[in-house]
Amino acid sequence: MKDKKNTSPLENNKITKLADDKENGSGEFLTTNQGLKINDNQNSLKAGERGATLLEDFILREKITHFDHERIPERIVHARGSGAHGVFELYESQAEFTKAGFLNDTAVKTPVFVRFSTVAGSRGSGDLARDARGFSVKFYTQEGNYDLVGNNIPVFFIQDAIKFPDLIHAVKPEPHNEIPQAASAHDTFWDFISLMPESAHMIMWVMSDRGIPRSYRMMEGFGVHTFRLINAEGKSSFVKFHWKPLLGVHSVAWDEAKKINGNDPDFHRRDLWDAIESGAFPEWELGLQIVPEEDEHKFDFDLLDSTKLIPEELVPIKRVGKMTLNRNPDNFFAETEQVAFHLGHIVPGIDFTNDPLLQGRLFSYTDTQLLRLGGPNFHEIPINRPISPVHNNQRDGHMRQTINTSRTSYEPNSISGNDPKQATIAEGGFNSYHERIDARKIRDRSESFFDHFSQATLFFNSQSEPEKNHIVDALRFELGKVEREDIRKRMVGILTLIDASLAIRVADGLGLEVPAQPERPINHGVPADADKEKYESKIIKPSKKSINISPALSMANTIKNTAKSRMIAILATDGVNAAQLNALKKALIAAGAVPKIIATHNGYIKDDKGLAIKVDFTFLTAASVLFDALYVPGGAASVNSLLAEADAIHFVTEAFKHCKAIGADAEGADVLKAAIIPLNKNEKAPAGVIINGKSADFITAVAGHRFWEREKKPDVPA
């Protein structure tokens, strides 16, 4: 009998060859990294359909872990950011709802560090990409660090964390050519979105002007998820966190955003830095939407669904304190780049819910910091250190800085008197909320998560006409960049489920017919063995809503009463009228605005009195898109020089196109006329154009931000 030859898998022709490094999933089943076929790639493993995500979910953990380790050293998402130090001050105690110290004691000023960011782009991308913005706040409280890790949009693309790697893989640059950077206008993103109906609401927000904010200082922040507040008696309330900017919520025009990225890709970074350096400290009020636990199921949406918001008309926002950013970092890398946020950094009085997106994020963030910052001691980096003392039995590890002098690194012990010891609840020990769970282990989601379109419709209905026009234009632009017609058609079908007129207008811009019926979304994005009829009946038919319009969702209703920190371009050259210029600058500075002289050359110009005036920028080093408004003072010599300067005329033309406030003296109005701004003496000047008016009138126009009614008019120059 011959001896059996020992064969490796590669030598045995009955076993698939393993040496080929290339992989193509065409026609194959989805598997884990160990080759296990996956039955449900849509839902994490939970204790009941509305229960907590279970630690044993090895598929979720493998997928998230691999995703977290895909890129080093920059963050996979939110790579490009900017940050600042500040302080949070409480208006009145919230002890009725929470025992969190920083929300109880009005005498305490809690230090904070805030990081703003884009989501999709790399560290080298531009600030004005159409994107959601990160808005994360680290509170250095007396009870430990509390991180409120959110965005400038109150909802998200997906309902379950198991889909997060899929979402980001889709929105990142195409894998074959690494194009486009920091942009969603490409095939893979819209392919994913068109097959994931739950993304419909978020798409409306990102395609709106919220996706291109004027400044970090002029955008809202949201905690996105529903959290819990726990008071000293152990009573729980649900809460949504909001940041409301005191400067109002403002955006730029899309054409303007594209040009800003070319003129100054650091526009938002520079804006935040300069405002703080000049003493125009950015301010937000912290708002709470509080829902009693007994009211959890009274809404026509699920509080645990991160693709839904609570309309302010149903639950008003209670403003409880103010955050002021008053100090720039000393070192960008050491602070802004190394700051480590985590939703799991909480304090007594704040706790989690079973939101499946939140539950997955609680696992992901620690894993991310371990890789990005080199090991388990990232909490010892100065920007991450709590101000409360740290005592535990964790030891050693890469880049350990603490010198532990105790002989014991375990608990219980007798050698060190059993120190450090556990704290009772009365002593400030953290105690998780005692939520009853009695359910089957299951990969599924509640039917209350299935209405994907009602709030997308609510958002669109709530927008002003200019805002709706901008959403249409954004969708035409994004889908116009998609190469595959089947994706464009499928997305138009999705839009019909949001608003018929929206779908028609977008389809018209794409040269497509609106489908009689959208492609059945149940063909994708559902478990392999799902009851597809159940899914379709819930997804396609939105529920009746208790509210059809929410004015709070429109930026048209934001604060428009201040010119503080607005950048004002004053176009002037030799011979400018000194009296007008000086009076204007004085009034602008008194209003908190920032006037800058734009001239035909650097150095100094001379006014009509022969006095020197320092030039801030030339038409070569500045652009209208970098300013909020412009003014052309009088002085015949100055006006004539500007009329002969093509870049000056373009500067005015472009500012008018972007609907900005424009002012001029009677002589300076000639420059506006040359820029094709209609100034017929028998007619009223266009909205936001102030001719020969008082400085106060111009400042009021600046505070109004934009005059969108000037858009899409025949007299608006190209």
Query: Would you name the residues annotated as active-site residues?
Result: 78, 151
Q: How far is CA 348 from CA 159, 395, 435, in A?
A: 27, 25, 16
Q: What gap in Å lies between CA 61 and CA 56, rounded to an integer? A: 8
How does strand 221-222 pair with strand 283-292? unpaired
Cα separation of 543 and 290, whole Å?
24
Residue 107 near residue 125 (C-beta atoms within 8 A):
no
Give dist(CA 471, CA 627) in Å, integer.
24
82 neighbors 272 (Cβ within 8 angstroms) = yes
Q: How far apart are CA 87 and CA 193, in angstroms?
A: 39
Tell me the HSE value of 671 on the side-chain side, using a 13 A CA sphere.
Answer: 40
- What's 127's DSSP letter? T
Structure tokens at 647: 């870049």
Beta bridge partners of 397: none
Q: Which of 190, 200, 104, 187 is nearest to 143 (CA)?
A: 104
Closest CA to 478 of 197, 214, 200, 187: 187
Q: Residue 262 is which amino acid?
A: G
Could you tell me if 158 and 195 are in contact, meaning their C-beta atoms sit under 8 angstroms apart? no
> Strands (DSSP E) along 34-132, which ranges?
45-47, 81-90, 109-118
How many CB atoms sit inside 10 A of residue 485's CB?
11
Q: What Å distances lie between residue 486 and 191, 492, 604, CA to CA?
A: 9, 10, 59
CA–CA distance, 59 with 357 (Å, rounded to integer):
15
Question: What gap in Å lies between CA 630 and CA 588, rounded to an integer?
Answer: 12
| Cα–Cα distance measured from residue 420 to residue 351, given in angstroms and rounded to the nearest whole number | 24
- At 240, phi and psi to the nearest 5? -115, 135
Q: Do the bridges between strand 594-599 and strand 617-618 make them parallel or antiparallel, or are there none, so unpaired?
A: parallel
Collapsing DSSP states into helix, strand and coil, what is residue 536? helix
Task: Count Cα neighbours of 166 within 13 Å in the Cβ-side half-sphere.
Answer: 20
* 188 C-beta neighbours (distance < 10 Å), count: 18
Question: What span, in angstroms and rounded, lies between the C-alpha atoms of 367 and 344?
Answer: 12
Angle at 316 between CA 466 and CA 204, to 5 degrees: 35
Separation CA 568–CA 564 (nearest Å): 11
Show Cβ contacts of residue 562 under 8 Å, excluding neighbours closer than 6 positions: 247, 248, 591, 592, 703
Question: DSSP 3-state assignment of 714?
Answer: coil
The C-alpha atoms of residue 700 and residue 694 are separated, in whole angstroms, by: 10
Q: How far apart are CA 575 and CA 426, in angstroms?
A: 74
**Helix (H) or strand (E) segment spanning residue 501:** helix 500-510
CA angle, residues 244, 164, 518, in degrees to nearest 5? 90
For the chain, the straight-line distance linking the first and the last C-alpha, in angstroms and rounded, comes to 90
